[in-house]
Structure 1
């Protein structure tokens, strides 16, 4: 008997064709290996299209209309940047002058760190504008320069505080990203605070060893609830939040069965694990009736549709 109160709540649904996904999954892995990674954009786009059309909101599926060709351009640029980074890093190790080592290592590290916000921005922008539901488009209105400096300043603060600032760093990034997302006439805010995430992580650090890892299931539950329950949705000045209706037992069963499937199948059951995880997570997310799904409408926002050279997207 299900004692959970789902009155006036809607849930996401995830319906998928298992055999189709198995073929797509192993085809993506095989071709990516055979092509030394060059097939990655086609694999990623195909998988994203599959997951989008398998995700159902009020009997209508989402659709991703992006193309691998667009992603491939960014992928090549990223490979070149990574190659340059490793060139500086390799040179720093073989440099005959030891004084050059810190300088070359710093350059390689800076290049690597600098491309992360570019990838985040480019991926969010591309995925948002190419994801539709009933023809209604998502938008990402964030500024690359704002995200760039927020990322670098947060990273620097994390370094100066010996990692203590990490929960605040991740939370502030999430606040910025979610506050700049739009879905038709819906806007979003993230109301979580770094202190909440900090205590979730502190409890895990102390309780994980003392419970021989058993506390992991409570940790995963609290982490998911922190990320989902703190998303506030605004529709025509009416605000509500998503709710993650999940119990520790749900996490335990999902994790243990997934682990057993992977171990006893020597990894071949990974497609089943992915599908059952997506299905479970979709069923856990509940949407209050105050969000009028039938009244979600397309909205026009001032965005730059043309991609910048450094709008790196990995989808």
Structure 2
């Protein structure tokens, strides 16, 4: 996947154009940027710069002036987001909760449009109607059957055998629906997200995740929660390793055993710190996951 043109004269990475905006050298097909597997010998060898103001080239050759760091930044403001939340709450109340889904889309639109990478903003393409339809499907396929199984024994005044069967069926529905919902939510969010006009996607098989979720839940229960870091890493690995940006695949190289000791420490410090140490654990976990997540050759 080509992301721009590399000037053969000054080494500036830029959008496709007839001539280099820095040194004026002509650009041809041979100057197309290398594939993501290419690794420059020095950090200054390839740079990405914005369009020059008023048609004047930026003085990037041999220096870093005007260069744009490949860093994710956020340009939102708390006051703006708070205003959106207030409007969403008001409209949700007067519409008996129906507007909630459109309000959620407004928040996502705001957050995504304020995130910037290489001077390009992310775009969210979801709609409130899609979220509402998804909720109605979950209501029919999950919440109503689950409520019926839980309420039926009491309403029908059945025996212990029927209650045990109903409880087992309810547990089975939860163990199947929750992982399916997690995969569906990730597939939807990624398919509705783009950067530079390129869509993200998720290509994992839902039932593979159901197996991971079911086995991990059972082992976590049998080990009194000690298996959770391994289970958590397997879940994250599945979600990440089946995600794509265009044709570039994400990857995850982390291992659950690396988080076992911090997890065990968090358990031991739960009572002495009144549970506050878990904030440090989740921060360490998230940092570890990000550091071991890749997209193509980029970490």
Scaled by the length of structure 2, the TM-score of the pair is 0.70
In the other structure, the counterpart of 2:114 is: 54
Take 2:173 and 2:275, find their aligned partners in 1: how far apart are those partners? 37
Q: Give how far 1:139 is off.
A: 1.2
Q: Give how far 1:39 is off.
A: 2.9
**Number of residue pairs the alignment of both structures matches:** 231
Q: Trace 1:20-59 onto structure 2 (pairs within 5 A).
A: 20-59=80-119
Please give the per-residue CA displacement for 1:79-117, whole angstroms capped at 9, x wherever unaligned.
222122112112234442332211112222222232112
Q: Give how far 1:165 is off.
A: 1.7
Take 1:153 and 1:208, find their aligned partners in 2: how far apart are those partners? 26
Higher helix share: 1
Mapped contact 1:88–1:108 kept (Cα < 8 A): yes
Shift in alpha-carbon separation, 1:213–1:18, aligned structure 2, 3 A: closer
Q: Trace 1:272-311 onto structure 2 (pairs within 5 A).
A: none
In the other structure, the counterpart of 2:291 is: 229
Aligned-residue CA RMSD in angstroms? Answer: 2.3
Shift in alpha-carbon separation, 1:210–1:161, aligned structure 2, 3 A: closer
**Unmatched runs of 5 consecutive residues or more in structure 2:** 1-42, 45-68
Are positions 1:97 and 2:158 aligned together?
yes
The structure whose Rg is larger is: 2
Matching residue within 206, 209, 214 for 1:152: 214
Take 2:279 and 2:146, find their aligned partners in 1: how far apart are those partners? 38
Take 2:186 and 2:75, find their aligned partners in 1: how far apart are those partners? 24
Q: Give how far 1:197 is off.
A: 2.1
Are positions 1:11 and 2:77 aligned together?
no
Take 1:41 and 1:164, find their aligned partners in 2: how far apart are those partners? 37
In the other structure, the counterpart of 2:133 is: 73
Shift in alpha-carbon separation, 1:48–1:173, aligned structure 2, 3 A: same
**Unmatched runs of 5 consecutive residues or more in structure 1:** 1-6, 242-315
Matching residue within 175, 178, 189 for 1:113: 175
In the other structure, the counterpart of 2:243 is: 181
Shift in alpha-carbon separation, 1:69–1:108, aligned structure 2, 3 A: same
Q: Give how far 1:61 is off.
A: 0.7
Take 1:214 and 1:104, find their aligned partners in 2: how far apart are those partners? 38
